[in-house]
Amino acid sequence: MIPNLNSLKLWQVDAVFLGVCVAVTAAFALFGFAPLISGHHDFLAQRESLVAQEQQAAQLETSLANLRERVEADQRALAGHTLALKSVANVNSQLAEISSLATECGLRVEDIRPDSAVSGTYYDTVPVAVAGRGTYRDCTAFLNRLRRTLPDTGVATVELVANTGERTGQGKFRLDLQWYALKQVDGGK
């Protein structure tokens, strides 16, 4: 029996075609799937990042809304508590009120001196030094009442020195106060 040459040639063509198909499939698997898989992993990572950023944005929006509510509440509270500042020209009246309040609280004021006004952006500040004698309890009562009675006056420093030889508990005190006064325009000083 003689082999059929036509069938042998077809078998060779089929083998070559099969080899080409295997080579193309292998090349596509190596060079086609790898970028697709890599791209898919990049997509998944970006999607996770997007979800995390959306969650963070939602938390920040909630926080911003809460802060806005607090600011509005504070602004409403401030609107109800306006403080009318007095002119620096009323410094003697302010010193008299401070001295009178200290005396009411049991302190003996020996010296009270204002310093030059310091101009600020929204108000002027007048430093006031107060010195004298009294007990610790009297000093704390004065500071408490000062805050309530004269809200335009703040306390910068408090210095209390005990007199160990004194049985009444009296000692020396020195207070550096800050009186907040109405801002003066340049021509008004």
pLDDT for 188 equals 47
Q: In three state form, how does the secondary structure of 132-167 look?
A: EEECHHHHHHHHHHHHHHCCCEEEEEEEEEECCCCC
pTM flag (> 0.75): no
Per-residue pLDDT tens digits for 67-78: 999 999 888 877
Same domain for 14 and 37? Answer: yes
Shared-domain flag, residues 175 and 146: yes
Per-residue pLDDT, 108: 95
Please write the tens of the pLDDT for every residue from 145-174: 999 999 999 999 999 988 766 677 788 999
44-48, 51-55, 75-79, 122-126 — which is least confidently predicted? 75-79
Q: Is the pLDDT at 4 greater than 60, yes or no?
A: no
Q: What pLDDT band is residue 21 in, cutting at 50, 70 and 90? A: confident
**Both 78 and 54 in a single domain?**
yes
The average pLDDT across 55-84 equals 87
The CA-atom distances, in angstroms, between 5 and each of 1, 9, 12, 14, 37 are 12, 6, 11, 14, 46
φ and ψ of 93, to 5 deg: -65, -40
Considering the domain architecture, whether residues 107 and 71 belong to the same structural domain is answered as: no
8 with 31, same domain: the answer is yes
Shared domain check, 136 and 69: no
Per-residue pLDDT, 12: 66
Question: Of 51-60, 81-90, 116-125, where does mean pLDDT reach its minimum?
Answer: 81-90
Considering the domain architecture, whether residues 59 and 108 belong to the same structural domain is answered as: no
Judge whether residue 32 has pLDDT over 60: yes
What is the per-residue pLDDT for 92? 93
Mean pLDDT value across the chain: 85
Residue 56 shares a structural domain with residue 142: no
What CATH code is carried by the domain that includes residue 138? 3.30.70.60
Shared domain check, 144 and 72: no
Q: Are residues 50 and 23 in the same domain?
A: yes
What pLDDT, on a 0 to 100 scale, did the predictor assign at position 37? 77
User: Residue 169: which domain range?
Assistant: 88-188
- Domain boundary among the residues 82, 116, 134 is at 82
**Tell me: the pLDDT tens digits for 121-145?**
888 999 999 999 999 999 999 999 9
